[in-house]
Amino acid sequence: MASLDNNHTRIEVTDGALIPAKGDKGLFSSWQITFFGAIIVLVLLPVLKPDPYFKILKFLPDGIFVTFQVTVMAIVCATFIGLLTGLGQISRNVFFNRVATVYVELIRGIPLLVQLFYIYFALGKFLNIQGMVAAVIAMAVCYGAYMGEIFRAGIQSIPKGQMEAAIALGMSRGQALRLIILPQTMRVILPAIGNEFIALLKDSSLVSVLAISDLLRRGREFASTSFLYFESYTMVALVYLVFTLFLSRLVAIMEERMAYRGK
């Protein structure tokens, strides 16, 4: 869920990962302890007990690649859909406004898992959609609705006087939006976009139900043949944790750099 603070300068989301902020020592310390603690455990387990932990670790790389492949493709598509949706929601054109609004309300009311099943099995009956394609479409459509709300809130957080000033200087509304409003919006919504990316990475585990060999499915495959469920899912959880925390730090660094350039 995205929300604006009292100064209308930052969008915060409550359902994503914790992004370490510059100058917040307590938050950074928590991130540091969790991140490096997870790495230490992830390294020590295969070293101290190669059988089965090292075997599990060697079994996972293919799944890690597929997980990132699905996540990156879905987030790129979701960002594009979200931008169009956000613009539609603030559009003065009643048709585009209603289409964007209905899309957001409709998609946000249906769980992602149901959307995955619907696109792969229900629509797949008519369109012959492959598992990877269905996964990317479902996740992009689902997260595009949430991205649309983020873009809408971000655009509306920019003072209206900036649009009026741009128009007064001879720009069209489209030029003002593209050259003045959107660049500022990106700085505002970056933390929220980053949180959505991290949340999408975690939700990508759902694509395993479509027989896609992502990280979770590779762990399940190892567990089903070895019956080492505790060990397999421990390694899967640690890998997800390390990547999630690593990405949260990257988002924080990007946010700091954009804030510095905006001064």
Helix then strand count (H, E) for the chain reads 12, 2
Report the amino acid identity of residue 204: S
Tell me which residue of 148, 143, 146 sits closest to 89, measured CA to CA.
148
Residues pairing with 13 in the sheet = 2
Decide: 71 and 201 in contact? Cβ < 8 Å. Answer: yes
**pLDDT at residue 233 in the model:** 95
As a dihedral over the C-alpha atoms of residue 74, residue 76, residue 81, residue 83, rounded to 10 degrees, the angle is 150
Report the amino acid identity of residue 99: V
3-state secondary structure of 213: coil
CA geometry: angle at 219 spanning 217 and 221, to 5°?
70
**pLDDT at residue 2 in the model:** 46
Cα 134 from Cα 36, distance rounded (Å): 35
Mean pLDDT per 10-residue segment, the chain (263 residues): 46 52 59 90 93 92 93 94 93 91 94 92 83 92 94 88 82 83 85 89 90 91 92 95 90 76 58
Cα 14 from Cα 55, distance rounded (Å): 37
> Which one-letter DSSP state was computed for residue 170?
T
Cα separations in angstroms, 228 against 10, 248, 251: 45, 30, 35
pTM of the model: 0.83
**pLDDT at residue 244 in the model:** 92
Tell me which residue of 194, 224, 250, 221 sits closest to 63, measured CA to CA.
221
CATH number of 65-214: 1.10.3720.10
